Amino acid sequence: MSLLTVGTVAFDTLYTPHGDAEMVVGGSSQYSSYAASYFTDDINLVSIIGDDFPQSELDDLQSRGVSLDGLKTVAGGKSFFWAGRYLDNMNDRVTITTDLNVLADFDPVLPDSYKQSKYILLGNLTPDIQISVINQLTEKPKLVVLDTMNFWIDNTYDKLIEAIKLCDVLTINDEEARMLSGEHSLVLAAAKIFELGPKYLIIKKGEHGCLLFDRNSVFFAPALPLEKVVDPTGAGDCFAGGFLGYIAKTEDTSFENMKRAIIYGSALASFVVEDFSNYRVKSLTEQEIKDRVQQFVDLTHFQL
């Protein structure tokens, strides 16, 4: 079933305690598309780039079933650029630069072939664009997932609240949940966030896993303890892409199936952090994903 993902396709510069990478390929919809492509080959990407973006990267996305009909290229323009530095714990990061570049004036026009997409991932980018994408759909989608980050909470709060009203599942990290709700306890934060509209909430806690809430219950998925974390960038996006990709594949939006989906999302996130940029998440095998999901099962399985 068709999955539409809107977000950034970008260049990143990353500083980590163990090494740096300059001007590597990144962007929220780039990462989520790769993650989702392990579950469906019917992916509609919506984004914008300048003509500085490598054609070989676009060819790689297309070869994985990602339609680029909704990817606008601006002649003479520069792609979105983000630079960040990870702290010693390799979990927390500070943004050094966010250059919106071509994203600043992006007003997406959905190709007709995208307008009946069933599973929508409103990836991390300006809430105006997230809202515009939803308004252009001609059929009610089965599930809308919205991902965002502190940058948009700080800079476009009112629009973000409007966008959140339109989603079924909100995914944010723990600090952002606290910022958005004004509550320190994540349980109280969840209750406040539900008042904004979503039916489900996923709170990501980096290397400590994530929590899936509906109004009555909560489920916890751990993150895999990894020997090697090279670069956490894209973990949230691969999580969201893997989560929604699994739901699109199984066509089941129940809370029980979302529990499985967050394990698949967590598995995809655990791969991307093993190397810079998309190097690892581009070339996984089905068996590697299966084995990793089994590691999650083993990690939490116990008998009473």
Site for ligand AMP in 242-301 (CB under 6 A): none
Whole-number minimum distance, CB 217 to ligand AMP, in Å?
Answer: 26
Query: Quick check: 53 and 79 in contact, CB under 8 A?
Result: yes
Whole-number minimum distance, CB 301 to ligand AMP, in Å?
Answer: 28
Whole-number minimum distance, CB 231 to ligand AMP, in Å?
Answer: 9
Residue with Cβ nearer ligand AMP (151 or 194): 151
Whole-number minimum distance, CB 251 to ligand AMP, in Å?
Answer: 26
Considering the rule CB under 6 A, would residue 125 count as an interface residue with ligand AMP?
Answer: yes
Residue with Cβ nearer ligand AMP (124 or 181): 124
- Can you spell out the DSSP letters for the chain? --EEEE---EEEEEEETTEEEEEEEE-HHHHHHHHHTTT-S-EEEEEEEETTS-HHHHHHHHHTTEEEEEEEEETT---EEEEEEE-TTSS-EEEEEEE-GGGGG------GGGTT-SEEEE-SS-HHHHHHHHHH-SS--SEEEEE--HHHHHH-HHHHHHHHHT-SEEEEEHHHHHHHHS-SSHHHHHHHHHTTS-SEEEEE-GGG-EEEE-SS-EEEEPPP--S--S--TTHHHHHHHHHHHHHHHHT--SHHHHHHHHHHHHHHHHHHTTSSTTTTTTS--HHHHHHHHHHHHHHH----
Residue with Cβ nearer ligand AMP (64 or 142): 64
Beta bridge partners of 221: 210
Whole-number minimum distance, CB 140 to ligand AMP, in Å?
Answer: 26
Size of the site for ligand AMP (CB under 6 A): 17
**CA–CA distance from 287 to each of 134, 283, 284, 292 (Å)?**
35, 12, 8, 8
Residue choice 116, 136, 151, 289 for contact with ligand AMP (CB under 6 A)? 151
Whole-number minimum distance, CB 211 to ligand AMP, in Å?
Answer: 17
Binding mask 225-244 for ligand AMP (x = CB under 6 A): --------xxxxx-------
Whole-number minimum distance, CB 116 to ligand AMP, in Å?
Answer: 26
Site for ligand AMP in 82-121 (CB under 6 A): 82, 98
Residue with Cβ nearer ligand AMP (68 or 125): 125
Site for ligand AMP in 6-35 (CB under 6 A): 8, 10, 12, 26-28
Residue with Cβ nearer ligand AMP (95 or 294): 95
Contact positions vs ligand AMP (CB under 6 A):
8, 10, 12, 26-28, 82, 98, 124-125, 149, 151, 233-237
